[in-house]
Chain A
Amino acid sequence: MDKVLEVKDLEVSFFTHAGEVKAVRGVNFEVRKGETLAIVGESGSGKSVTTQSIMKLIPMPPGKFVGGSILFEGQDLVHKSDREMESIRGKEIGMIFQDPMTSLNPTMKVGRQIVEGLMKHEKISQSDAKKRAIELLDKVGIPMPDKRANQYPHEFSGGMRQRAMIAIALATKPKLLIADEPTTALDVTIQAQILELMNELQEEFGTSIIFITHDLGVVANVADRVAVMYAGQIIETGTVDEIFYNPKHPYTWGLLSSMPDLTNEEEELTAIPGSPPDLVNPPKGDAFALRSAYAMKIDFEYEPPMFQVSDTHFAKTWLLHRDAPKVEPPPIVQKRIQYFREKKQGKGEPNGSR
């Protein structure tokens, strides 16, 4: 069995004075050993709540697990006590955040923070831990690691802080690393460096990664598989090629065609109209139907099931029903699908989309 994590029918709600906010509404996914699963979605789509639930970092109340299970190496985390979670968090599952300043202790030297993490979870002597800390800082590309280990987080630049954060997260060789928008706050050139680093480290450590982001460019860079979230549900999931070159859900189409591609000359951007639904009263049926140009009558009655497209590719839209009308995706998406077909037939050039 090579599944590291399996999330089943997860439902998480927040109880506020405006009512029950159904932030996660029945999410299923799995993470296999050594792969990167990217979860894409807009703010409020439930992607961060989902991963914070895995770490059990949701404040309760107002948050509450309404249903489902989170199986990490076969054990259900939903029913773990805080004490039990402490030994999993930071040891078995590491996490890096968008803003490293919120998770680094500002009053403690960076090296010390790695040492503390190591000594908490492993039987290791102080001096060995220190050696390991410096090795790790070196590994994440921090120059002069022995000097840097004795500095405080505020003496690091944004990119360096994120590197230090990665060093801390990887110190105990976790089986799963959750990265919540780790590059969103960084400049593009720094972002590129951090992404390269993460790809390298994953190869070396064999860690599974859940990478949360709203940036499709970043997804294309890091992901093996992709799950697209909308209104608290996963609406399409597949390998990175399937999602980018053969998307099936109108929301995924919308995302891909609302982004300018540097290579396109005069394509008009197709914006998705409206705003995501209020999750206090999620719409009946398909939550995306109200904003979709491909909505059908049934979308307003029944929630679509996950239709299977291939062994790895699933999408939650009635368009995949065998009797559904055949619709034309937006032009940018058609170009992608065309590229996908050629690629599958072995005719595709590696830079055919250019």
Chain B
Amino acid sequence: MSKQHINIDDIPIESLELVDVRADDAEKITRPSLSFWKDVWMRFRKNKLALSGVVLLILLLFMAIFGPMMTPYNYYENNLEAVNEAPSAEHWFGTDNLGRDLFTRVWEGARISLFIGFSAAVIDLFIGVIWGGIAGFRGGRLDEIMMRAADILWAVPYLLLVILLMVVLEPGLTTMIIAMTITGWINMARIVRGQVLQLKNQEFVLASQTLGAKTNRIMNKHLIPNTMGPILITMTLTIPNAIFTEAFLSYLGLGVPAPLASWGTMASEGLPAMRYFPWRLFFPATFISLTIFAFNVIGDGLRDALDPKLRK
């Protein structure tokens, strides 16, 4: 600190005159204005691992969009003259048992896997926030009924539910997404409900009520914005979960139908040939892992950045 010392006897007498102080000056805020999300971003930015997750995710998204355009091949055309070829200058990731270019198929698959992941997350978000928000805010009997209903659905073995669904519906992208979200929203609903229960008795919500705010306003202006943190964290963890579940269902033969490729179906096709043509398993498996890794570190980083205990 800059302590300036002065000899008491050296003080010029005129500097001991009283001055008028404007009270306003004491109300000045010297720190720059920071919104909550700016503050979160400042903390998130310091987390190198989470930041590398973001970079990785951007790269993956970029390749999912442009990857298939980088080769002269497409994902469905068979080429029986180039079956099970190892990675080469011609086929960067090799080919599969029908001679399809794996590089093209991996990025085509990325589109489908990421699409499933994101749509599962968005649908979970939509149903979960509404369901949990209403249950938490209304409380009482309605809350009891809504949450018990969710519990019952949660209690049905997941695999059984999915297999039943597959029997009723055609296998395909839509069915896959329905299968992801049929119980996925429950987690989101529980988190939102818990937050809303806590928040609805906070004084700023009461203040809004005494001003005459209706339920809609309280929900949209007060409750949901203050639940955004946990919602975001849950979403970033839902996406990798959906991608993983998709791979798992594909392995059981419940994946997207051929010739569509997802990372899950590619990995399950590559598995029997693992010994002789390992690249057929290696590439889809690697990208599943990388994606899940990216989302997980982002989720962790967000959780740390949003932690109110560190906030000052």
Chains A and B touch each other in the complex, with CB atoms below 8 Å apart? yes
Residue positions of A touching B, CB distance < 8 A: 11, 16-18, 22, 25-26, 273-275, 278, 280-282, 284, 289-298, 300-303, 305, 318, 321, 323-325, 327
Beyond the given A291-B26, A298-B16, A321-B16, please list 4 additional residue pairs across the A-B interface where CB-CB is below 8 A. A278-B31, A295-B19, A305-B8, A318-B16
The answer for the CA separation of A302 and B8 in the assembled complex, in Å, is 11
B6 sits at the interface (CB 8 A): yes
Residue positions of B touching A, CB distance < 8 A: 1-6, 8, 11, 13-19, 21, 23, 25-27, 29-31, 42-43, 46, 312
The answer for the CA separation of A293 and B26 in the assembled complex, in Å, is 12
Chain A contact residues, majority secondary structure: loop
What are some 29 contacts across the A-B interface (CB < 8 A)?
A: A11-B1, A16-B312, A18-B312, A25-B1, A26-B1, A26-B3, A274-B23, A274-B27, A275-B26, A275-B27, A278-B29, A278-B30, A281-B30, A282-B1, A284-B2, A290-B25, A292-B21, A294-B18, A295-B19, A296-B16, A296-B17, A297-B14, A297-B17, A298-B11, A298-B16, A302-B6, A303-B3, A321-B11, A325-B17
The answer for the CA separation of A305 and B14 in the assembled complex, in Å, is 18
Contacting residues, chain A, for B23 (C-beta < 8 A): 273-274, 291
Expressed in whole angstroms, the minimum distance between the Cβ of A316 and any Cβ of chain B is 13
Contacting residues, chain A, for B18 (C-beta < 8 A): 294-296, 325, 327
The answer for the CA separation of A305 and B30 in the assembled complex, in Å, is 26
Give the nearest-CB partner of B39 in chain A. Answer: A17
Contacting residues, chain A, for B31 (C-beta < 8 A): 18, 278, 280
Q: Do B21 and A289 touch (CB < 8 A)?
A: yes
Q: Do A301 and B21 touch (CB < 8 A)?
A: no
Max chain A CB contacts within 10 Å: which of B11, B13, B17?
B11
Contacting residues, chain B, for A273 (C-beta < 8 A): 23, 26
Contacting residues, chain A, for B42 (C-beta < 8 A): 17
Q: Do A291 and B16 touch (CB < 8 A)?
A: no
Contacting residues, chain A, for B312 (C-beta < 8 A): 16, 18
Tell me the number of A-to-B contacts counted with CB atoms below 8 Å: 74
The answer for the CA separation of A305 and B26 in the assembled complex, in Å, is 23
The answer for the CA separation of A323 and B9 in the assembled complex, in Å, is 10
Contacting residues, chain B, for A275 (C-beta < 8 A): 26-27
Give the nearest-CB partner of B24 in chain A. Answer: A274
Max chain B CB contacts within 10 Å: which of A292, A323, A325?
A323
The answer for the CA separation of A288 and B305 in the assembled complex, in Å, is 35
Q: Do A323 and B27 touch (CB < 8 A)?
A: no
Contacting residues, chain B, for A324 (C-beta < 8 A): 16
Q: Do B16 and A323 touch (CB < 8 A)?
A: yes
Contacting residues, chain B, for A297 (C-beta < 8 A): 14-17, 19
Contacting residues, chain A, for B1 (C-beta < 8 A): 11, 22, 25-26, 282
The answer for the CA separation of A320 and B21 in the assembled complex, in Å, is 19
User: A25-B1, A274-B23, A302-B6 known; A280 and B17 CB under 8 Å?
Assistant: no
Q: Do A293 and B21 touch (CB < 8 A)?
A: yes
User: A22-B1, A323-B16, A324-B16 known; A274 and B26 CB under 8 Å?
Assistant: yes
Max chain B CB contacts within 10 Å: which of A273, A278, A284?
A273
Give the nearest-CB partner of A22 in chain B. Answer: B1
Expressed in whole angstroms, the minimum distance between the Cβ of B8 and any Cβ of chain A is 7
The answer for the CA separation of A284 and B4 in the assembled complex, in Å, is 9
Expressed in whole angstroms, the minimum distance between the Cβ of B82 and any Cβ of chain A is 55
Expressed in whole angstroms, the minimum distance between the Cβ of B130 and any Cβ of chain A is 36
In order of increasing CB-CB distance, the 6 nearest A-B pairs are: A274-B26, A273-B23, A298-B15, A297-B15, A290-B26, A291-B26
Give the nearest-CB partner of B46 in chain A. Answer: A17
Q: Do A290 and B21 touch (CB < 8 A)?
A: yes
Expressed in whole angstroms, the minimum distance between the Cβ of B160 and any Cβ of chain A is 40
The answer for the CA separation of A15 and B42 in the assembled complex, in Å, is 15
Expressed in whole angstroms, the minimum distance between the Cβ of A234 and any Cβ of chain B is 15
Expressed in whole angstroms, the minimum distance between the Cβ of A224 and any Cβ of chain B is 30
Expressed in whole angstroms, the minimum distance between the Cβ of B309 and any Cβ of chain A is 11
Give the nearest-CB partner of B29 in chain A. Answer: A278
The answer for the CA separation of A290 and B21 in the assembled complex, in Å, is 6
The answer for the CA separation of A321 and B9 in the assembled complex, in Å, is 9
The answer for the CA separation of A324 and B8 in the assembled complex, in Å, is 11
Contacting residues, chain B, for A318 (C-beta < 8 A): 16
The answer for the CA separation of A281 and B19 in the assembled complex, in Å, is 22
Expressed in whole angstroms, the minimum distance between the Cβ of A190 and any Cβ of chain B is 25
Give the nearest-CB partner of A280 in chain B. Answer: B31
Expressed in whole angstroms, the minimum distance between the Cβ of A261 and any Cβ of chain B is 24
The answer for the CA separation of A293 and B22 in the assembled complex, in Å, is 9
Contacting residues, chain A, for B6 (C-beta < 8 A): 302
